[in-house]
Amino acid sequence: MQLLHTPADMQQWALAQRSRGIRLGCVPTMGCLHDGHLALVREAQTRADQVVVTIFVNPTQFGPHEDFHRYPRPLADDLARCRKAGVSAVFLPQPAQMYAADHSIYVVEEQLGNGLCGAARPGHFRGVCTVVAKLFNLTLPHVAIFGQKDYQQAAIIRRMVRDLDFPIEVVVAPIVREPDGLALSSRNRYLSTDERQRARGLSQALRLVRDAGETDAAAVCQRVQTLLTETYQLRVDYVAAVDGQTLQPVPSLQPGVAIILAAFAGTTRLIDNTLLGHPTDSAQGIPAP
């Protein structure tokens, strides 16, 4: 497994592979890899000859009061997982190598990123788009894999690839869950035992949507809000029923509608979602409480 530390080394490696006719897959991550990331790697391996994992905690997508400095960075463990998973190369640059001190160009998406997590985290998707565009230019993949857990992020990256003509196929892989339904996330390790119990509320809320048989979006979102706050004592950031493509709010639930949630367990912000009627509708496998 190649370890590539600088943008120049990364790009050179990718160019060399491409010149030999090798199809490249990229899995962009911020490290602290879990089984959800490894599922993305496996997906990439079915679609490419060689897979690059990028590990970069991207400062430009964190707000001033967010967890950039304490974001977990278990690098040795991450590299061991990548090696075991048969990853061909890992790109692990430092912030100063990715962003010149006087960098002044950003990639800004102006529609899909306005609501939901974009409203709660101003500047977040500007940072995500900018770094993903840079990672695409450095890893030069034919295909890139993102997780559905970050539903809005995946929609925005697809839009960026379309609007900026990146010659890259974007694949969105299903959410991987703990046996009790909690979506895997690097931030789950922040949770205390009690918060971890209460964090089940997010996936239980999606289960409620699936089982409620109710189609009025406002009524369902209200029931979800009540479940999250009263039963699971989570602080809700938002509960939304949106068109799965445009991310605009919809009045009624039907196939193609995404239910997207964000809530805090203590100080940890958790997100989850399901796309109704989709084969990967992730609420399918969630067990009863």
Q: Which residues bind ligand PAF (CB under 6 A)?
A: 28-30, 58, 61, 128, 131-132, 150, 153
Q: Residue 30 or residue 220: which is nearer to ligand PAF going by CB?
A: 30
Least separation in angstroms between CB 27 and ligand PAF: 9
Both tokens of 49, joined, read 């000859």
Least separation in angstroms between CB 128 and ligand PAF: 5
- Tokens 């962009």 locate to 28
Residue 37: active-site member: yes
Least separation in angstroms between CB 157 and ligand PAF: 7
Least separation in angstroms between CB 247 and ligand PAF: 17
Of the residues 5, 34, 37, 278, only one is catalytic, namely: 37
Least separation in angstroms between CB 135 and ligand PAF: 7
Alpha-carbon Rg for the chain, nearest whole angstrom, is 19
Q: Residue 29 or residue 139: which is nearer to ligand PAF going by CB?
A: 29
Q: Residue 109 or residue 198: which is nearer to ligand PAF going by CB?
A: 109
Nearest in space to 210 (alpha carbons), one of 147, 176, 259: 259
Q: Residue 128 or residue 173: which is nearer to ligand PAF going by CB?
A: 128
Q: Residue 32 or residue 276: which is nearer to ligand PAF going by CB?
A: 32
Could you give the residue numbers annotated as active site?
Answer: 37
